[in-house]
Amino acid sequence: MVVANEQLKKLFQAFRNRNDAAFYQAAEALIAEELAANHHSLASDLKKALGSYRELAKNSGNSFTLLPKDKRSGEELITLHESSVDATKIILGQETKAKIERVLEEHRKRKLLARYGYTPKTKLLFWGSPGCGKTFTANYLAYELGLPVGVLQLSAVISSFVGDTASHLQRVFNLANNTPMVLLLDEVDAVGKNRDDPNDVGELKRVVNSLLQAMDTFRSTDSVIIAASNHQYLLDPALWRRFDDIIHFSIPDKTERELYLKTLLNGVNFDGSLAYLSKSMNSLSYAEIKTVTVEGVKTMIIEGRDSIKSSDILEQIKAYKKTMSAARSKLEVVINE
């Protein structure tokens, strides 16, 4: 209750000073406290009342800036959005789902864990093939925890100026330390590559060291850091040790593909066999399944039909695989030249 009273005090002070940024920060902290107390319904209502997360203008005479920017270009180092990915929109493998639900349960019962001197998992590594749900699951976690999603902008964070990258990373992590959020470090291998790579230059080693230092300074139990990688074995071993849990996202199996197809075709008249379609999508990721299915539905609409057939989607699968095969062949030619 002492923490809640302190946040209420900050909320009223921000209102008095017309400091929108500070007001929003205090409100988010209050919502996080209600979630920690297992008041999920109240937290959800407060979140809706507060509205979508957005960049807030800096109050006149106030030096507080919610979103850090590159001082040279003015480009934002992080973008923020509110997630709408709830449990009805996500399909995961059994092992992956169990790990994600464990993370959620720890955060929902973090006060109980605190009594015994423990904290919930706050640093996660998601790894696996592209299109298998890493980013989608980060948004799901944010939705369930009632937090905004912060996405690290690699193009802005990585600078050619010595020292700027380290400063950028630290400012982003400072924001996550002070403002409850799910911070997504997508394609983290771009900044966390193994420092023993013989083809690497010294600057990248400094970038990795900066990331390690930023990870070490992260202490918040209100925020969650999620690093996502398609090339996890390129990551520096020291970075692996910084994570509380490492979660694998695999290519969906037949059952998961069929469930996802049902979700994608919900509300569409389907004349065919989901089981057969699912079998035909062997080795496809969730993103690829969505691509070919949406193209099939578009074909139905363009041709003026009121139902979609298995053949519509099967044709799209064939065309997609042909395109990908041609692209791989061209890439091999370039590599071998």
One-letter identity of residue 123: K
Do 23 and 142 fall within a single domain?
Answer: no
- Of the candidates 220, 249, 278, which is a domain's last residue? 249
Do 206 and 308 fall within a single domain?
Answer: no
pLDDT of amino acid 142:
93
What 3-state DSSP class applies to 331?
Answer: helix
Do 202 and 312 fall within a single domain?
Answer: no
pLDDT of amino acid 55:
41
Handedness of CA 235, 237, 243, 245 (dihedral sign): positive
pLDDT of amino acid 154:
76
Do 127 and 149 fall within a single domain?
Answer: yes
pLDDT of amino acid 60:
34
Residue 57 included in any domain: no
Do 132 and 202 fall within a single domain?
Answer: yes
Do 202 and 158 fall within a single domain?
Answer: yes
pLDDT of amino acid 188:
81
Do 123 and 170 fall within a single domain?
Answer: yes
- Of the candidates 230, 249, 268, which is a domain's last residue? 249
Do 276 and 244 fall within a single domain?
Answer: no
Do 153 and 14 fall within a single domain?
Answer: no
- Radius of gyration over every alpha carbon of the chain, rounded to an integer in angstroms: 23
Do 223 and 269 fall within a single domain?
Answer: no
Do 83 and 224 fall within a single domain?
Answer: yes
The burial class, CB within 10 Å (0-12 / 13-18 / 19+), for 272 is middle
- Which residue range is the domain that position 208 belongs to? 67-249
Structure tokens at 319: 């065309």
Do 229 and 263 fall within a single domain?
Answer: no
What is the number of domains present in the chain? 3
pLDDT of amino acid 327:
74
Q: What angle do the packed helices 40-50 and 20-36 form, to 10 degrees? A: 160
List, in sequence order, every beta strand (DSSP E) within the chain. 78-81, 123-128, 149-152, 182-186, 224-229, 245-249, 270-271, 308-309
Q: What angle do the packed helices 164-178 and 202-217 form, to 10 degrees? A: 20
pLDDT of amino acid 21:
58
pLDDT tens-place values along the chain, 337 residues long: 555 677 788 778 777 665 555 677 678 778 877 777 778 788 778 877 776 444 443 333 333 336 777 777 777 888 888 898 999 889 999 999 999 999 999 999 989 999 999 999 999 999 998 999 999 999 999 999 988 999 987 777 777 665 777 788 888 898 898 888 999 998 787 665 544 555 555 566 777 888 888 899 899 988 999 999 887 677 878 888 899 999 999 999 999 999 999 999 998 999 989 999 999 999 899 999 999 999 999 999 999 999 999 999 999 999 998 888 877 766 555 555 5
pLDDT of amino acid 332:
56
- Of the candidates 249, 270, 299, which is a domain's last residue? 249
pLDDT of amino acid 162:
55
